[in-house]
Chain A
Amino acid sequence: MRGLALLVALGMLAGPQLARAEATKSSPEKDMKAFQAYFTHKFPKVPLKDFVNGPYSMNEGLRKQWIEKETFPPYDFALDHGKELFNKPFKNGKTFADCFPNKGIGIRQNYPYFDDKTNEVITLEVAVNQCLEKNGEKPYNYMKDDMAAVTAYMAFTSRGKPFNIKVPKNNPKALEAYEKGKQYFYQRRGQFNFSCASCHVQEPGEHIRAEVLAPALGILNAMPIYRSEWGGMGTISRRFTSCNSQVRGVPLKPQDPEYRNVEYYLSYMANGLPISGPGARP
């Protein structure tokens, strides 16, 4: 082991062999290609873009129920509520439109992004609360209700637009955040010793108890979701925290930097796949 470390150190010093050390580091673009190829290879009948429909892309019986559900979708009320909140002026007369590029319409596919000034990942949910706080309003609960409603509306105005997440090459901190997100995604945790990947990479389409597991690819494109299991809407924050709980891990705080990093990584993996949120899920 010590010998190997020495070799690597020598290699790095040697300069020309730098490429070998680099190979162990992430190339987000290469990761993304491999990630998408894994899923299209595992499910050759599912078109790439259809992965945004989660378990419905890989189970005929479920798909039929979903299509019927979409004729009058359960997230309809949240969507209307979100539109109302989005357009309602704050006490200072400003609105969400003043906080976002393009007045907040059709931009969901660009979140999360890496903020060069603060060196942190900014998710859409964080940006929504930052907007509220900047304008002297109380921030929303990250898990559901108003946050789910506003992000539902913002996703809705962005439907069909492909995820366009960037890991700026000129900022090593961005790659670091991406790397951390990747590690969180693959690292097993909780008493059940599961990682995100254990379920959503290795077993999508399979049943765990009664549930058909969603593929990790495209899982965030449909957020926020109305989940029958929840009897209501939930955000990405809710999705992550509930996954932790289900493997008997104590969830981190919503929008903890770790969760933001995972969202960054996972959204990047879905680059090119269209936003489909808000979604309905079992």
Chain B
Amino acid sequence: MTAPTDWLAIDWILAAIGGWIAIGAAGVLRPHNFYIVARVLFPLGAALCLLVAVAAAAALFAGTETAVLPLGLPGLPFHLRLDALSAFFLMLLGTASAGISVFAAGYFRKGEGTPPGVLCLLYHLFLAGMAMVLLADDAYVFMVMWELMALASFFLVTANHTIPAIRRAGYLYLLIAHVGALAILLAFGVLQADTGDYTFDNMRAQALSPFWASVAFLLAFFGFGAKAGFLPLHVWLPEAHPAAPSPVSALMSGVMLKTAIYGLLRVGFEILPTQYAWWGVLALAVGLVTALFGVVFAAIQTDMKRLLAYSSIENIGLLAVGIGLALLFTGYGMPSLAALSLTAVLYHALNHAFFKSLLFLGTGAVLHATGERNLGKLGGLLRHMPWVGWLALVGALAAAGLPPLNGFVSEWLLLQSFLFTLGLPGTFINNLVPVVAAGVALVAALGGYVMVKFFGIIFLGQPREPRLASSHDAARWERVGLVWLAVGCVALGLLPAQVIALIDPVTRVLVGEGIGPQVASQGWLFLAPVSAERASYSPLLFLLLVAASFALSFVLVRRLYHGRLRRAAPWDCGFPLLNARMQDTAEGFGQPIRQVFEPFFRIDRQLPSPFDRQPSYRMEAGDHLWHWLYLPVARASDGVSRLVGRLQQGRISTYLMYSFVTLLVMLLLVFR
């Protein structure tokens, strides 16, 4: 690499990654110097994030760039490749993590578990790992970086490791991540088809038989699903995300999960030459179940970060549904429709990165202001922390999929792509698709429920604890980060045509088609993915009209009547002893959902009896899968190891007997 003038985008990105590692090293040199870490290193990292984003955006249209680093195994150096797909996800990484890093600059405080310098190292290693995963072009560097990412995030999750629950969460997380990684490794092993060459180029060149192709896809689906949190591999997610410090939760939920989606797209569409429709059916089913499960569990959570984690599961499920649709379409040879649903997937990935990070950071600010994660002890914070509150409102509306914000656009595109399934052959699929569409609609609506609960319980109403009244608003750095992400949510929501122009090259890489030109032909204002007659949506106009009638009614009312206003105590229905504790609780808000979706939960309830001295009420809604899948597996392996343990029973004669028998058996082998 010579003078920066003729650097390619990939060089800039690699430079940024190197910069991150350097920053991390610098942090470790002064592990306890809080000022340098927070005020210098993290902002620097954020700047590098922006650099990555810009370079990636430039690379989107620049065509494929490759590089080979002199690292790695002999005969298998690090192959790197920056095509539109990588570039898009790198852009996602850069833009989202820029905001998160700035927030983190203000977030990490002194004396919380791991010293700030070490956190800084792990944080930037995490970023570097994710970026390298997106660049990887051979199995070895991919696996190395994939595991590095898992490792760094594991240590970040257990940053506050004195709490046993957090340690358990980290353990569960790393274990499932590792199992998934093994599956991915196997998938690559199948993909290289006995050639022994583990570069992705070689894998692309292989023509696998349908059976082996399907095996590879299933392994990849399992492996990446473990990282993304598809059912039934989701159990780590609601444990790990709340356990981590909020910027890390944001990074994991907003960006890391997307690397799994990236891997699935990379393997499923780009490396595997042909797709089969039944893969799509699988992805649709898994995705729908995951989404529904996630949102229903989110609705009954009482811990704000767990709630967001489950909502991440929901969104991942929606992404899986979109991927499933795309697989169906490609399986039946309709690339243009596949492009539509893939656009929805990528768009939603981008949106989720923004609004989920925003919300997680919001919870972080709340956590710092109140030291409280339990929804039942929060409330009324909009008055005390207006910045966080209003910005979180933007995030919540976006997450609820309401127009004109970004969450709605991608859900709109997803639903649109469902409308074309009529052309698909096969009765079974024709029965399945409407059901899935209905499921998606239901999930979207429930998402609204969840977000109303989230925002309403935390920020609205009366403070449920007196000390909340003293909670302070977010500091300068944190505000900047939050604003950045909120602006992103709005911009992504208002300018769909422009965003799709960015996504177009990606879908071309994946399925060879794109809806960019069609969208562009409708002008910048309207979003019409297929044709203006079929469907069109213009968030700007939408916003404009609502705002206009808002303003008009406001002005008219003032003009024709008056604007007098009187403050008074809320009406107490004639019951004078009303206090903040009498507000509806988080449990209460979730109760209808618990009622309606009873079979989803494994509920153990502890009701007070009339004779209790201190009557107490406890309700836990557990996860069936934990008891149906994980515990049995654990028991099985424990049983096996108990059997194996019998071998080692201490008597030397027995040991000699083992050797003797082994010898005789082998002699017999020779003898025959």
Q: Are A and B part of the same complex?
A: no
